[in-house]
Amino acid sequence: MTAPECAALHEAIEPLAAGEPATPDQRAHLASCASCQARLALATRLERVLAEWPAPMPAPAFASRVLEARRREAWQHEQVVDWSFNIAIAAGLMAVLAGVASMLWLLGAAAGPATSSQVVADMAAALVARMRGQAMVLATAALLLTTTLGAWWWAEERQHW
């Protein structure tokens, strides 16, 4: 027979040896091709030997060892996620503190202590005026913080599934 027909049947040898019924084309090819007949006979004998071969019994503590390994793996993954989250939160807090410090420096609050309530009121008014100009930056920072906390909550909830 032709090589393409043999190649097509070669893909079906294992299912046929396992007991799957042959299609009419496969039966016709097997009837006329000694090479494919030999392959099918060998695969059928191999299936029979494997079916008769006794399956080994697992060790007594096999299931508990597998479960313990899975728990340990999950715990290690959780530690990586927790550390990553903690580092991200610490970096975010440092960025916020640096922003507040630089804003206070620009407003002159770091130059010296306030001597009267009027100076404090003037600084607060200046701070509010500058914050209005930075509303987009503050809104973006709040959105990023909310997104980070939402992702953390989602990751924690997903672990319990």
Q: pLDDT of 43-89, one tens digit each?
A: 999 888 888 888 888 888 888 899 999 999 988 888 888 888 888 88
Determine the pLDDT at residue 85. Answer: 85
pLDDT of residue 116: 61
Query: What's the rounded mean pLDDT across residues 153-157?
Result: 80
User: Residues 101-128: what's their mean pLDDT?
Assistant: 67
User: Radius of gyration (Cα) for the chain, nearest Å?
Assistant: 36
Domain extent at residue 10: 3-52
Q: Does residue 108 sit in helix, strand or coil? A: coil
Residue 58 falls inside a structural domain: no
Which long-range CB contacts under 8 A does 22-27 form with residues at least 24 apart?
none
CA 15 – CA 22 distance, rounded (Å): 9
The pLDDT confidence band at residue 93, using thresholds 50, 70 and 90, is confident
Residue 72: the pLDDT is 92
Given a contact cutoff of 8 angstroms between Cβ atoms, the answer to whether 117 and 137 are in contact is no
pLDDT exceeding 90 applies to what percent of the chain? 7
Question: Is residue 57 assigned to a domain?
Answer: no
Q: Do 97 and 37 lie in a common domain?
A: no
Contact between 7 and 29 under an 8 Å Cβ cutoff? The reply is no
Per the structure, how many domains does the chain have? 2
**Same-domain check for residues 128 and 80:** yes
Query: Alpha-carbon distance 90 to 106, whole Å?
Result: 24
User: Is residue 16 located within the same domain as residue 84?
Assistant: no
* Residues 34, 68 share a domain: no
Domain check: are 77 and 138 in the same one?
yes
At 108 the pLDDT is 63
Q: What's this model's pTM, rounded to 2 decimal places?
A: 0.37
